[in-house]
Chains A and B, each alone.
Chain A
Amino acid sequence: MNMNPGLDPRVMQWRSAMLRFAQLHIQPREDAEDAVQDALLAVLASGAAGPAPGDVRSYLFGVLKHKITDRLRARYRHGWPSSGGADDGDTPDALDETLFDASGHWAVGVSVNRWHCPQSRLEGEQFFAVVDACIEHLPRKTAQVFSMKELLDCDADEVCATLTISKSDYWQCMSRARKQIQLCLTQRWFEGQTP
């Protein structure tokens, strides 16, 4: 059944991709579907001011990003829920304790080698499946901050305001995410690759 009978078929063909994108930021799935629905309705309401024929994709995702950010802002307006676990962003980072010694230098046994891989191997489905898996392993708060910055293109101040976190929290989360993803990709992809 078409839930948006007034929408251009060019718009509807992007619905699945939009839902997948929304689910990277919002759970449960029903809330992600609501965000997509809001975006599609906003496009419908825009009427003649809608996208030019060659610009449907960027227009749709632009609207969707705003709808996702609105929902995140509403969800976290009273602050980030305390998990009581090690995923609060401002707790001492266990990852750092693995990577560095007490003096702040790389720990003995931690090898950091330059990634070497043909560009073509960094563009395939298999590689991006590994990237997705690495990102899915991030702690929840870290993942939320990271995805807002990297996928929604929000700047640091907007991320902090939306999720009601401090700038210090933001820096901790971004650092942890990039370190953990690099470590994960090194282990799961780059080590053992033949040149």
Chain B
Amino acid sequence: MMMQCRDYVFQLTSGQLDEASAGTRLEARVHRWICVRCRAFTHNDAVLTQVLASRRERLTGTPLASPDGGPQAPSSSS
């Protein structure tokens, strides 16, 4: 039976598709090919992955404006 949009989106967003069998991945590819909305959703999900990677880098990267007024510079912490 043909994969439904709801099942395709669940497989994609849950991470199951990464671990799926070759048959399921082929089914997903065919579904994406024929469904313009799932194709758009997949594109956006890929952008979201990049956005989340950037967010992680920002949070663990350059020191951010202190939410608690705590020390930002070495000289203020001694």
Contact = CB atoms under 8 A, between A and B. Distances in A.
A103 B74 CA distance: 60
Interface residues of A, number: 49
A96 B13 CA distance: 12
Nearest to A7: B77
Contact of B10 (A10, A132, A175): A175
A179 interface: yes
Given A20-B67, A178-B48, A171 B16 contact: yes
A17 B44 contact: no
**Chain B interface secondary structure, helix, strand, loop or mixed?**
helix
A16 interface: yes
Contact of A16 (B13, B38, B64): B64
A12 B56 contact: no
A112 interface: yes
A156 to B, nearest CB: 7
Interface of B: 4-7, 9-10, 13-16, 37-38, 40-41, 43-45, 47-48, 51-52, 54-56, 58-64, 66-68, 70-75, 77-78
23 contacts: A12-B71, A13-B63, A13-B72, A13-B73, A13-B74, A16-B66, A16-B67, A16-B68, A16-B70, A21-B60, A100-B4, A105-B4, A112-B44, A115-B47, A123-B54, A151-B59, A174-B13, A178-B13, A178-B45, A179-B9, A182-B41, A182-B45, A185-B48
